[in-house]
Chain A
Amino acid sequence: MNQAAPVPKENQGEPVVRIDGRLKVTGQANYPADIATANVAYGALATSSIARGKVSKLHTDDARAVPGVLDIITYGDMDKTDKPKFGNTGASSIAPLHDRTIFHDGQIIAMVVAETFEAAEEAAMLIRADYEDDPPSASFDSKGAKVEPAAGKSPMLKEDVKVGDFDTAYASAAVKIDQKYSTPTQHHNPIELFSTTAIWQGDQLTIQEPSQNVTGWKIELARQLKIDPANVRIVSPYVGGAFGSKGPMTARTAIVAIAARRVGRPVRCVVSRMQAFNTQTYRAETRHRIRIGAGKDGRITAFGHEGWEVTSRPDSYVVGGTSATGRMYNYGSVLTHISLVHADRNTPGYMRSPPETPYVYALENAMDEMAVALRMDPVEFRRVNEPEKEPIGGKPFSSRSLVKCYDQAAQAFGWSKRDAAVGSMRDGDWLVGMGCATAIYPTASAPCAARVRLTADGQVRVQCGSHEIGTGVRTVAGQMAAERLGIGMDKVSVEMGDSALPPAPVSGGSISTASVCSAVLKACDAVRGKLFAAAVAGDGPLAGSGNAKLEMEQEKIVASGGKSAKLSDVFKAMQIGAIEEYAEFAPNGSTPEALKKLYAGQAEFHGGDQDEDSVKYAFGAEFVEVRVNSYTREIRVPRIVGAFAAGRIMNTRTARSQLMGGMIWGIGQALHEATEIDRRNARYVNRDLQDYLVPVNADVKQVDVILVPEIDLDVNPAGVKGLGELGNVGTAAAVASAVYHATGKRIRDLPIRIDDLIA
């Protein structure tokens, strides 16, 4: 049996093989820096060696003397462009070449353009700067870091959620905890390097760059360059991993565009792994204080969640996960507060499951502590606190299958065999621990357009400016069309990753499958409508079946009475060769401007906690076994089981892969990942894949994914909840709980390393 292709259960689609699988295993999938580009020159960045101050003088003579150097873009050269803006489309307001101020270590101070990659690199290393430097503030507790309330500073957090009288409830609770947790800086580190290739043909600019938001970037880049967006095209046919890092556009894109215009030929800049740590976004480090009060029966009466998050000096990036943690269980009262800490750092951004990964980690580690304090089974503790309605606004959940997830995962894992006593389960030299945690991710969708063409010979082409970042969205969009039009997948092609295609929202927040499939569904239904009308018309091949229910299957239109007509015959009757339909999908509750905003590159998200009628979330339960060596304290994760319910599953293969990858990300967050900071210089230390640890093959053994059937027609027309970000929420807390169970040590600061368990 092939575990990669789970047998579909109710409301789950076939495990169709990825539509681009063959291209990916033969090296024919073109990632942006792979696209053959004639006469291309190479760009290389020079970056600052201080974190705060000013560049007083830049020395470029040595660099210009390197044979093959064509140009150096630096201060003054971007003056005719507008500065980048911080927001959903722009990574930061820091405009590195507009202004000699240095806001963070590794800030771009110049870009060399040369005939060859080698010459560009050599010259970039010869650029020297004189600085007027000030002592930087690196992070939490650094002198000079500015702390302020986060609420109102970002659309991500309008206000701190709260309900009831927390102080009174907490004070009078029979059992309570008050603990602090933290998560480190993390960098996405997709294996594909960040790159920009800029090509001008007259006044037409083409940018080849891995992107999760081609339409948004087109608009933003045109604004910066002060040109008509119609003259800008962003091309990103394949993306070599994104995880949020390729969502917001950085300052580099406009710099490369200007360079290409100056040298009069295409310029490609592939950013080094090391420089990417400072010139792209990252996951902000967070701190949490959690207070939980409960009665002796385990019912929570008070939940308090305070968060602190690091951001840059000029930009207020808010992680903001209390909306989800505040709605997770049936708390009697909720009090939350989030603070931002501005330091001399590049601006953070969203990284896989942005708010939930750190915030739910803190909540779920605390839930396990609370279960211990109550002497309750941690699964039972969660069951006791399962809500009818979410506590903040009193709205129902559109669907919530968390208990089912716990039941199925616990059974598959063998939770009943766990001896609750700490340190009680041992296998030779290995201390065995078992832990669990809840996964939650808001279900949202956004306006999206798609074009579907069906030809008389049964070929289908789907076009949508979404992004194949590895999720399988190209495959599931094709599947939706194949299913709806009754055509085999082998006759379906799907085009994505180009701003010349019908616009789609940013591929973030697990919205793509729902948004794209809803748009494709709508376009397909328009195609069906035309075919059906022609088929049952007086001179049509199904004349007289006007009242029958019609379906499309195997390149035929089939009437409920049993009559059928070949697709080609319907086209013949229509005297046309192709039907092409362009459809726009807008979620329920969209504003009148929602579609206009889609074309302007601004996704209007709906769902999650935003809707009037209900709150919409996907849920999961994860169980982890850890083994801690009793002598060396080495920590291994031999087994992890996750059960997830996320509405309609379009494709059990791609869904399982994403959830599996997510859970392994969770193992990485628990045990490996952290960007270390030299606090004196506000500098990242481990800026490579040797010292920034991510899980490798040997870190992972058995990973079981259970897809729990769930039907939710309230979320969107496709009934899809999205699950790209669900899998790695909660995992780290399950690992921490298992480590506690094995060793009696409650580690609250991630990642959990051997040194935390010694002594």
Chain B
Amino acid sequence: MSNSTSPGGLSRRTFMTGSVSAAAAMPLVATSTKAAESPTAKAAEPRDLSTISMRINKQAYTLALDNRTSLLDALRDHVGLTGTKKGCDHGQCGACTVLVDGKRVLSCLSFAVMNEGREVTTVEGLASANGELHPMQQAFVDHDAFQCGYCTPGQIMSAIGCIDEGHAGSDNDIREYMSGNLCRCAAYPNIVAAIVQARDEIRRA
């Protein structure tokens, strides 16, 4: 890949350094770079950069990333999607939960390079283009299923995955299968109520 392929006036160096610019919400590299030079040939060295293509919230991205960069840091620091949160970086709190090919994944435990060709959905990709909230987002608002809001994107993504997996049949199931998502403000009863509302609404739809 060369500098000339990156839109928005970003040089190769600025995005190699991981900086997020004012244009951060835009894909840093357009899909037209799909013919980028052999992405994984030299991937053996940890510090090397690999070129990774994936779809994030239905938009194609090609990113040059340190092989050690987690999917979480790729989303936050390289794509500018900071809705996904870092709470422990060790897969212990669930704040970084995203959907990868529809399944919930802890993005801090997944190297970005492992997600070549995958479809990633983050909290920013849930609301419809006209601004209408996803039923799960609306349910979290209705039931005050958060206080500080920091674990909320992870809770919402996890809750969508939980319903999809068929693990939201009863309140007890929801409690059990949502226990990987810590909420230090302890909005748990409200989170369960929100998931029940969204589950029923999604089923009706």
Contact = CB atoms under 8 A, between A and B. Distances in A.
B152 interface: yes
Given A30-B82, A697-B181, A24 B152 contact: yes
Interface in A99-122: 115-119, 122
Interface string A9-44: 000000001101111111111110110111111100
A661 B152 contact: no
B27 interface: no
A39 B76 CA distance: 14
Interface string B78-96: 0011111111111011010
Decide if the interface of chain B is mainly helix, strand, loop or mixed: loop
B188 A664 contact: yes
B176 interface: yes
Decide if the interface of chain A is mainly helix, strand, loop or mixed: loop
Contact of B66 (A17, A22, A116, A189): A116
Nearest to A188: B184
Interface in A632-687: 653-654, 656-658, 660-662, 664-665, 668
A526 B127 CA distance: 41
Interface in B106-164: 122-124, 126-127, 133, 137-138, 140-153, 156
Contacts of B69: 116-118
Interface stretch (A237-245, A542-550, A551-559, A593-601): A237-245
Nearest to A20: B149
Contact of A31 (B68, B92, B150, B183): B150
Given A116-B17, A697-B178, A190 B147 contact: no
A539 B98 CA distance: 62
Given A4-B144, A240-B85, 14 more contacts: A22-B133, A25-B152, A26-B83, A26-B137, A27-B153, A39-B19, A190-B148, A190-B150, A660-B186, A664-B188, A689-B88, A697-B175, A697-B192, A698-B179
Contacts of B122: 27
Nearest to B95: A191
Interface of B: 14, 16-22, 24, 47, 66, 68-69, 73, 76-77, 80-90, 92-93, 95, 122-124, 126-127, 133, 137-138, 140-153, 156, 174-176, 178-193
Contacts of A39: 14, 17, 19, 21
A25 B137 contact: yes
Contacts of A2: 142-143, 193
Given A39-B14, A700-B189, A118 B149 contact: no
Interface in A164-190: 188-190
Contacts of B81: 27
B193 A3 contact: yes
A714 interface: no
Contacts of B17: 39, 41, 68, 115-116
A192 B150 contact: yes
Contacts of A689: 87-88, 90, 92-93, 182
Nearest to A115: B17
Q: Which among B76, B93, B150, B186 has the highest number of chain A CB atoms within 10 Å?
A: B186
A287 to B, nearest CB: 26
A470 B137 contact: no
Contacts of B87: 191-193, 273, 689
Contacts of B92: 273, 688-690
B186 A700 contact: yes
Contact of B86 (A122, A190, A270): A270
Contact of A664 (B14, B144, B152, B186): B186
Is the interface on chain A under 10, 10 to 19, 20 to 34, or 35 or more residues? 35 or more
A27 B88 CA distance: 18
Given A190-B184, A243-B184, A700-B189, A661 B147 contact: yes
A688 B189 contact: no
A658 B145 CA distance: 11
B147 A472 contact: yes
A25 B150 contact: no
Contact of A4 (B22, B183, B186, B190): B190
B106 to A, nearest CB: 12
17 contacts: A25-B152, A26-B83, A27-B83, A27-B84, A29-B149, A31-B150, A34-B76, A38-B21, A116-B17, A191-B182, A270-B86, A660-B189, A661-B147, A689-B87, A700-B175, A700-B186, A702-B189
A259 to B, nearest CB: 16
Q: Which among A39, A193, A668 has the highest number of chain B CB atoms within 10 Å?
A: A193
Nearest to A690: B92
Q: Which among A24, A29, A702 has the highest number of chain B CB atoms within 10 Å?
A: A24
Contact of B144 (A5, A240, A695, A701): A5
Contacts, number: 229
Q: Which among A23, A662, A668, A700 has the highest number of chain B CB atoms within 10 Å?
A: A700
Contact of A17 (B76, B141, B175, B192): B141
Nearest to A657: B144
Interface of A: 2-5, 17-18, 20-31, 33-34, 36-42, 67-68, 115-119, 122, 188-193, 238-243, 270, 272-273, 469-472, 653-654, 656-658, 660-662, 664-665, 668, 688-690, 694-703
B141 A18 contact: yes
Given A40-B19, A273-B90, A697-B174, A240 B148 contact: yes
A487 B77 CA distance: 40
A239 B149 CA distance: 8
A38 B22 CA distance: 7
B152 A694 contact: no
A140 B47 CA distance: 46
A270 B88 CA distance: 11
Q: Which among A238, A272, A657, A699 has the highest number of chain B CB atoms within 10 Å?
A: A657
Nearest to A28: B83
Given A42-B18, A660-B186, A689-B92, A117 B77 contact: yes
Contacts of A118: 47, 66, 68-69, 73
Contacts of A25: 123, 133, 137-138, 140-141, 146, 149, 152-153, 156
B18 A240 contact: no
B148 A26 contact: no
List the 7 shortest-distance A-B pairs measured between CB atoms, nearest first: A27-B83, A240-B150, A470-B148, A24-B149, A470-B147, A664-B186, A34-B82
A22 B124 CA distance: 12
A657 B84 contact: no
B187 A661 contact: yes
Q: Which among B22, B68, B87 has the highest number of chain A CB atoms within 10 Å?
A: B87
B20 A38 contact: yes
A30 B82 CA distance: 8
A26 B190 contact: no
Q: Which among A241, A243, A469 has the highest number of chain B CB atoms within 10 Å?
A: A241
A26 B188 CA distance: 19
A694 B184 contact: yes
A236 to B, nearest CB: 12
